[in-house]
Every structure is written in structure tokens, then in C-alpha cells.
């Protein structure tokens, strides 16, 4: 039995099939999907903040304090997205860790 399926069998004395799910592959790297999702979210947020500033400054000619806080939060979000990318690509934090699953239920 390989390491990725260890512990999936039924407990001693029990009958029936193994659970219908698979354990994560410890060598699978899924950092690209998280970077893409974070970047798309950042692009949508940037568009929303740009539209807000266009409406408030360009049309209404009023930019309030909350608008600047929204811009600050967008900048912090962009910094967090950048740190996420550096962490994922530099330190391989998207690799699954080897885990041991105990699927037996206490009686």
C-alpha cells in the first residue's frame, strides 16, 4: 500500500468499500491557481475603486476621507497579493504536506 492511501481501508473487522475520496498528492503544486484568483480579485477591486474615484472626483467633485481609506486598503491588498506570490513561488508554500489520516471512528 502506498503512503498516499495509507489508512484508507476499513477498520479491522469492518466490511465495505473504502471512502470515496482521495488524499492530496504531496507532490502537487497548486500555487498558480491561488495566484491567479488573487490577481483577478485585485484587478476587479482596482476597477471598482477607479470607478468610485472617477464618479466622486470627476462628476461630483467631492472626494471624502473614506475614499482615501478605500484607496489605502486597495494598496494594502495589492501588497498582500504581491507577498502571496513571493511566498508561493520562493518558498514552495503551495506544496501539500504529508499527512496521516486516521479514518477510524472511536466507539
Tens-digit pLDDT profile for residues 54-89:
999 999 999 999 999 999 999 999 999 888 878 777
pLDDT at 34: 79
Q: Is the residue at 3 inside a domain?
A: no
Q: Is the predicted pLDDT of residue 28 greater than 80, yes or no?
A: no
What's the CA gap between 37 and 32, in Å, rounded? 9
Q: What is the largest CA-CA distance in the chain?
A: 76
Number of domains, the chain: 1
81 neighbors 42 (Cβ within 8 angstroms): yes
Helix ranges restricted to H, 21-64? 31-53
Q: Is the residue at 2 inside a domain?
A: no
Q: Is the residue at 7 inside a domain?
A: no
Q: Is the residue at 56 inside a domain?
A: yes
Q: Is the residue at 88 inside a domain?
A: yes
Q: Is the residue at 70 inside a domain?
A: yes
Domain of 55, in residue numbers: 29-36+45-92
Amino acid at each position: 500500500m502506498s503512503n498516499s492511501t495509507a489508512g484508507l481501508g476499513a477498520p479491522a473487522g469492518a466490511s465495505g468499500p473504502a471512502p470515496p475520496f482521495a488524499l492530496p498528492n504531496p507532490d502537487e503544486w497548486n500555487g498558480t491557481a491561488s495566484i491567479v484568483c488573487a490577481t483577478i480579485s485585485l484587478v476587479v477591486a482596482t476597477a471598482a475603486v477607479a470607478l468610485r474615484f472617477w464618479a466622486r472626483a470627476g462628476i461630483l467633485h467631492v472626494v471624502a476621507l473614506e475614499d482615501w481609506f478605500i484607496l489605502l486598503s486597495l494598496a494594502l491588498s495589492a501588497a498582500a497579493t504581491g507577498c502571496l506570490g513571493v511566498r508561493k513561488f520562493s518558498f514552495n508554500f503551495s506544496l501539500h504536506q504529508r499527512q496521516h489520516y486516521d479514518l477510524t471512528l472511536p466507539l
